[in-house]
Chain A
Amino acid sequence: MNDSPSLARTPLYDEHLRLGARMVPFSGWEMPVHYSSIVEEHRAVRQAAGLFDVSHMGEFMVTGPGALDYLEGLVPNAVGRLEPGQALYSQICLPDGGTLDDLLIYRRSASDADPSYMVVVNAGTRPKDWAWFEDHLPTDGSVTLRDLSAATALIAIQGPQALAILATLTTAPLMDITYYHAVEGSVANIPCLISRTGYTGEDGFELYHAAEAAPQLWRAFLAAGAPAGLLPAGLGARDTLRLEAGYCLYDHELTEAISPLEADLGWSVRLKKGHDFIGRAALWQQKDAGIARRRIGLVLRQRAVPRAGMAILAPDAGEAQATDTIIGTLTSGTLSITLNQPIAMGYVPPQFAVPGTMLAVDVRGRSVPAEVVTLPFYKRPATNA
């Protein structure tokens, strides 16, 4: 099962095998789904810390005097507002407003004359993203695009102990790195871009570094973090953690048929940013006319395990379940490990998207009552940090 030659491997592949990981195909990559168990790894991230290999993500460098103008034309968020070292979340939209991918953009250079940006994209979408970025390059040569994905590894450390563990491996001023900011620094003697970002709902960091140094950095983290309860964590826990945190996963909550406005990501869409971008007219129209459906969170009120693809039902005025009408579809679902209740995300027409609305989910022919709730399902306890 583990010898499909067509799947790509990260620089940490051998480390995963050594740790006894269960490897699975994911977006063309052979990735660890879990090492011990998803439940154990999920709890480690919520209570202590987890270490993730996310080197399958893609990194594009965008440089040259036209870089800012080019990026502003490709994404709905306001790239021009970034300070050096700051990151933002955005999408790439199609002309009709659908989502080609969602991504992070880091401003790397402090110089306005010689700007450079790093764009971080999803693994499965990297080929089509790259083609899109190339196709939209200005013809005047003012922008240079480089794909650094193969040369770049990415390790994430997430959880309430993440900062303390990372602090044992670096002299970088971690307390000064605020959320969605990054600094260059040496971690375990390896040059890294240390970014206070993540996909788990916990505090944590993501470290971009040279691919060949990844095994050394990985081992340094496991050794430094073991006393604090750090566990290596796979894609299984990554998915259950991000779902509790209400984050979109591309190909589930976001697709080429779903706009960021429908996905309730309007906070990241800057229609008035003063620069046209692909999809802007369509998104304006959606905003003016009203969207046809909206992403919601659901908590099921009976024990069941919701899954992507299950139908969302609106109970009709009467109580007869046989007349329930299908109003939408789940895009993700699980039994929340932290909350011990079934949670799901999906899309419904806006009139059903109001928190408190009682809907139902069709779980293999059984209509299970489900309440629309405000996202996220899980919010970490406030700290003084």
Chain B
Amino acid sequence: MAELHHPAELRYTKTDEWVRREGDIAYLGITDYAQDQLGDIVNLEVAWDEAGTGTVRRERAFGNIDSVKASSELVSPISGTIIAFNDVLQTAPETINTDPYGTGWILSVRLTDPAEVDALLSGEEYLAYLRERDH
């Protein structure tokens, strides 16, 4: 997994999601390791109401991601109110394979408690966790 990419400025979970905090807003997605394990991503289902009433809660599932070969739950690293679901993924879910930390972000969320982000894993901690998990 040495060739996989885990930017130091992000925070990570043991369920392979990442969070980028910008003030009290957070972007979240799945990690390079997760997209590599899933392979070709073909569909995302995110449970939110486009009227803007959607919320996510820390360590709770907020949707599902399918690749050709597998289906996986999406688990939120943080709690908050959904601002947007990344529209690009409706028509081009494979964007997550090519750019998991950039244009492949999944949700933007207004954080309930920004301190939740600080409690997540650093890039180094996440990498160490992956090495341990794969053995």
Contact = CB atoms under 8 A, between A and B. Distances in A.
A1 interface: yes
B87 to A, nearest CB: 14
A304 B43 contact: yes
Contacts of B69: 33, 38, 236
A235 B66 CA distance: 18
Nearest to B61: A364
B71 interface: yes
A38 B40 contact: yes
Nearest to B43: A305
A304 B45 contact: yes
Interface string B35-61: 000011011010000000000000000
Contacts of A1: 134
A1 B130 CA distance: 12
A337 B68 contact: yes
Interface in A9-40: 22, 33-34, 37-39
Contact of A335 (B43, B45, B64, B134): B43
A91 to B, nearest CB: 27
B64 A364 contact: yes
B42 A305 contact: yes
Contacts of B64: 364
A379 interface: no
Interface in A301-339: 303-305, 307, 334-335, 337
A158 interface: no
Interface in B10-49: 39-40, 42-43, 45
Contacts of A337: 68
Given A1-B134, A364-B64, A335 B42 contact: yes
- Number of chain B interface residues as a range: 10 to 19
A45 to B, nearest CB: 14
B18 to A, nearest CB: 22
A22 B37 CA distance: 9
B71 A305 contact: yes
Contacts of A305: 42-43, 66, 71
Most buried by B among A39, A307, A334, A337: A39
A39 B45 contact: no
A334 B71 CA distance: 10
B134 A34 contact: no
A240 B68 CA distance: 8
Given A1-B134, A304-B45, A307-B71, A34 B66 contact: no
Interface in B62-99: 64, 66, 68-69, 71, 94, 97
Contacts of B39: 22, 33-34, 37-38, 236
Nearest to A34: B39
B100 to A, nearest CB: 15
A33 B45 CA distance: 25
Given A236-B69, A334-B68, A303 B134 contact: no
Contacts of A364: 45, 64
Contacts of B68: 38-39, 236, 240, 334-335, 337
Contacts of B71: 305, 307
Contacts of B97: 37
Nearest to B36: A22
A361 B65 CA distance: 18
A38 B70 CA distance: 12
A85 B35 CA distance: 46
Interface in B99-135: 134
Nearest to A3: B135
Nearest to A342: B43
Interface in A212-248: 236, 240
A22 B68 CA distance: 14
A364 B134 CA distance: 28
Contacts of A307: 71
Nearest to B40: A39
26 contacts: A1-B134, A22-B39, A33-B39, A33-B69, A34-B39, A37-B39, A37-B40, A37-B97, A38-B39, A38-B68, A39-B40, A39-B94, A236-B39, A236-B68, A303-B43, A304-B43, A304-B45, A305-B42, A305-B43, A305-B71, A307-B71, A334-B68, A335-B42, A335-B43, A335-B66, A364-B45
Interface of B: 39-40, 42-43, 45, 64, 66, 68-69, 71, 94, 97, 134
The 9 closest A-B CB pairs, nearest first, are A305-B66, A39-B40, A335-B42, A38-B68, A305-B43, A37-B40, A236-B69, A38-B40, A1-B134
